[in-house]
C-alpha cells in the first residue's frame, strides 16, 4: 500500500503493512498478559505485606489495560487485512491513550517487585516508541526510502508511492502470472592480463594458449568489484568505434569502454602478437561471463577486422549490449549461452522499464490483501503450486470482483501524473523512451528438464539445450533461480550435464537427447 497520510504528513507505513508486525505484537502482548495473570494468581495470597495492596491494584489494572490493548491490536489487524482500508487512523487515538495511561504508573512509588515489572514495561514501551520513530518518519528518514536509495529497484520506483512490500507483492504476482501464461502456451519451435587494482572501465583479462584446441584464448573477467558495478551501471548508449559495414552501431557505454581498454592492452602492449608468434597457426577465441561476456562480444567485433576467424563464446551476457544491426552482424562468429531464468541476459534499461510497468499493473489490478499475497508467494516460491490462485484483471478475471483493488489508480505516484493512468491510450502502452539494445550473437538456452524442486541440487538436475531467438529474453522473468542461474559454477554444471547427456546419446542412438552443435 502507499504511504498513509496522518496529521497532514505522509508516513512510509501503510494499513496492510501492519498485519505482520501487528501479529507479532499480539503474540507478545498475550504472552505478557498470561505471565502477569500467572504471577498474580500464584502470589495473591501473599500480598498482605506493606505495599501489597498497591501492587495488587497495579497488576489488576495492568491486566485490564493489556486486555484492552490486545483487543485494539486485534481490531487494527482486522482492519489492516482489508484491501485499501482507510479507517486505520481512527484507532490511533485509542492506542495512544492506552500508552499514556500505562505511562502514568511510572510516577507512582512502588515496592521493589513492582519496580522491576514497571521497568520491564517501560523498556518495552521505549523500544516500541523507537521502532515507531524509525519506521514512521516521513520521506528521507524512512526505512523504505533508505533501502530504495541503495537498490536498483529503489531507483526504478523512486517516482512512485510504493513501499518495498508493495514491490515484493508485485513480484510474487508477476511470477505466478507468468507461470500461468507459460503453462497455457504451446511449446515454441525456435530454431593474461590482471591489473593490480582495477578502475572503472578496466576489466582484468587472461591470455592463454590452448594447445589441445589449438587456440589463443582471451578470457575476460565478469563483475567482481565496485568498479565493475559502476561499469555495469553506465548504461547509456554510445556509437561503437569498429571497422564493419553496420551503420547502426549503438552499444552499452560502460561495456564498450571496458572492451576498448582490453583491446588497447592486447594490441598496444603486443600481447596478441606475442601469443601468435609462438603459435601462428592457432585461431583466436574470446570468452567471458556476465559483464565479461558482453565485453568479450564487443572485443571480438573490434578484433574481427584483424582476425577474421575470431570466435566468441559469451556466458550469461547482459541483454542490453548493442543495436539490432550489430546483433544480427555478430551471429556468424558469436555464441551466447544462457541458463534458465537468469536475470542478467534479460536485463536492460528497456526491460527494467517494462518490469516497472508490469509491477504497477499487476499490483493495481489485484483485489487480494497484501499479507495473503506475500504468504502465498512465499509458499509458491518454496513448494510451487497453482499459479492461478491469485487472479488479476489482466488474467481475464471477472471485472466485477475487483471492487476494492490493492492499490488505487491515483496511488501509484507520489505526485499524480497521467503517465501512469490505465486508459487505452496510456503511455504505459507506448513505446519505451530508451533505444532497445540486444544480446550478442546466436543464443543457446539451457533449460532444466522435469521438476527437481524449486531449490533442487543443480548437480542432480538434467538440462536440455536449444537455439533460441533473442525475443525469448525480452522480459525479465521472476523465479527463485533468477539469480542463482547466473552463477558461473551452476552454469558450468548445467553444461556438463548437457555434454554428458550428449555422450550418452552417442553411445545409445535410440535414446533421444536434445543437443546443440556449435561450429
Catalytic status, residue 290: yes
Report DSSP letters for 461-488, one per residue: -EEEEEEE-GGGGSSPPP-TTTTGGG-H
Query: Which 8-state DSSP code applies to residue 319?
Result: S
Query: Which 8-state DSSP code applies to residue 321?
Result: S
Helix (H, G, I), strand (E, B) or coil at 331: helix
Catalytic status, residue 489: no
Radius of gyration of the chain (CA): 30
Rounded-to-integer distance, Cα 422 and Cα 335, Å: 40
User: Widest CA span of the chain, in angstroms?
Assistant: 103
Of 15, 142, 256, 290, which residue is the catalytic one? 290
Quote helix, strand, coil % in the chain, to nearest 5. 55, 10, 35
Rounded-to-integer distance, Cα 418 and Cα 415, Å: 10
Cell of 443: 543464443
The answer to whether the CB of 80 falls within 8 A of the CB of 16 is yes
How many other CB atoms are found less than 10 A from the CB of residue 38? Answer: 10
Of 228, 342, 485, 501, which residue is the catalytic one? 342
How many other CB atoms are found less than 10 A from the CB of residue 130? Answer: 10
Burial class (CB in 10 A: 0-12, 13-18, 19+), 429: exposed
The answer to whether the CB of 432 falls within 8 A of the CB of 350 is yes
Rounded-to-integer distance, Cα 105 and Cα 118, Å: 8
- Beta bridge partners, 104, equal none
Cell of 250: 549503438
Alpha-carbon distances, residue 45 vs 41, 55, 63, 104, 306 (angstroms): 8, 12, 18, 27, 98
Terminal CA-to-CA distance of the chain, rounded, Å? 53
How many Cα atoms within 13 Å fall on the side-chain side of residue 327?
Answer: 22
Query: Which 8-state DSSP code applies to residue 220?
Result: E
Rounded-to-integer distance, Cα 5 and Cα 418, Å: 22
Phi/psi at 379 (5° precision): -65, -40
Q: Look at residues 268, 269, 203 and name the one whose alpha carbon lies nearest to residue 232.
A: 203
Phi/psi at 85 (5° precision): -65, 135
Provide the annotated active-site residues: 290, 342
Amino acid at each position: 500500500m502507499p504511504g498513509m497520510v496522518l496529521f497532514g504528513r505522509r508516513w512510509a507505513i501503510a494499513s496492510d503493512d501492519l498485519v505482520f508486525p501487528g501479529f507479532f505484537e499480539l503474540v507478545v502482548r498475550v504472552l505478557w498478559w498470561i505471565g502477569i495473570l500467572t504471577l498474580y494468581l500464584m502470589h495473591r495470597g501473599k500480598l498482605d505485606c506493606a505495599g501489597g495492596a498497591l501492587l495488587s491494584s497495579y497488576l489488576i489494572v495492568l491486566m485490564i489495560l493489556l486486555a484492552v490493548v490486545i483487543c485494539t491490536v486485534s481490531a487494527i489487524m482486522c482492519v489492516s487485512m482489508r484491501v485499501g482500508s482507510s479507517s486505520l487512523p481512527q484507532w490511533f487515538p485509542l492506542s495512544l491513550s492506552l500508552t499514556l495511561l500505562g505511562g502514568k504508573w511510572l510516577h507512582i512509588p512502588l515496592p521493589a517487585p513492582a519496580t522491576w515489572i514497571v521497568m520491564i514495561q517501560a523498556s518495552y514501551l521505549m523500544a516500541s516508541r523507537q521502532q515507531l520513530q524509525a519506521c514512521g518518519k516521513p520521506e528521507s528518514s524512512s526505512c523504505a526510502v533508505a533501502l530504495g536509495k541503495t537498490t536498483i529497484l529503489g531507483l526504478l520506483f523512486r517516482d512512485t508511492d510504493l513501499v518495498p512490500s508493495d514491490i515484493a507483492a508485485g513480484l510474487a504476482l508477476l511470477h505466478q502470472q507468468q507461470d500461468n501464461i507459460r503453462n497455457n502456451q504451446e511449446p515454441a519451435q525456435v530454431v593474461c592480463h590482471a591489473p593490480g587494482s582495477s578502475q572503472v572501465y578496466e576489466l582484468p583479462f587472461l591470455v592463454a594458449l590452448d594447445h589441445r584446441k589449438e587456440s589463443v584464448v582471451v578470457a575476460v573477467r565478469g563483475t567482481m568489484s565496485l568498479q565493475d558495478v559502476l561499469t555495469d551501471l553506465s548504461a547509456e548508449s554510445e556509437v561503437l568505434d569498429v571497422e564493419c559495414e553496420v551503420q547502426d552501431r549503438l552499444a552499452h557505454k560502460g561495456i564498450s569502454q571496458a572492451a576498448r581498454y582490453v583491446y588497447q592492452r592486447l594490441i598496444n602492449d603486443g600481447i596478441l602478437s606475442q601469443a601468435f608468434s609462438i603459435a601462428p597457426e592457432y585461431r583466436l577465441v574470446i570468452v567471458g561471463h556476465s559483464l565479461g561476456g558482453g565485453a568479450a562480444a564487443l572485443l571480438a567485433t573490434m578484433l574481427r577486422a584483424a582476425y577474421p576467424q575470431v570466435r566468441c563464446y559469451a556466458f550469461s551476457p547482459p541483454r542490453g549490449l548493442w543495436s539490432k544491426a550489430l546483433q544480427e552482424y555478430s551471429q556468424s562468429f558469436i555464441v551466447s549461452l544462457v541458463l534458465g531464468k537468469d536475470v542478467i541476459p534479460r536485463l536492460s534499461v528497456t526491460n527494467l522499464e517494462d518490469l516497472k510497468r508490469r509491477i504497477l499493473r499487476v499490483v493495481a489490478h489485484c483485489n487480494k490483501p497484501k499479507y495473503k499475497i506475500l504468504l502465498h508467494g512465499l509458499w509458491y516460491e518454496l513448494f510451487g503450486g497453482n499459479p492461478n490462485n491469485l487472479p488479476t484483471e489482466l488474467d481475464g478475471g471477472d471485472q466485477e470482483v475487483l471492487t476494492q483493488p490493492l492499490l488505487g489508480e491515483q496511488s501509484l505516484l507520489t505526485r499524480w501524473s497521467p503517465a501512469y493512468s490505465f486508459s487505452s491510450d496510456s503511455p504505459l502502452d507506448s513505446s519505451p523512451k530508451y533505444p532497445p539494445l540486444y544480446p550478442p550473437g546466436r543464443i543457446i538456452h539451457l533449460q532444466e528438464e522435469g521438476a527437481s524442486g524449486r531449490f533442487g541440487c543443480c548437480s542432480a538436475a538434467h538440462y536440455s539445450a536449444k537455439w533460441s531467438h533473442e525475443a525469448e529474453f525480452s522480459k525479465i522473468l521472476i523465479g527463485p533461480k533468477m539469480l542463482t542461474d547466473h552463477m558461473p559454477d551452476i552454469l558450468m554444471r548445467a553444461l556438463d550435464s548437457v555434454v554428458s547427456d550428449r555422450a550418452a546419446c552417442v553411445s545409445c542412438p535410440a535414446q533421444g537427447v536434445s543437443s546443440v552443435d556449435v561450429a
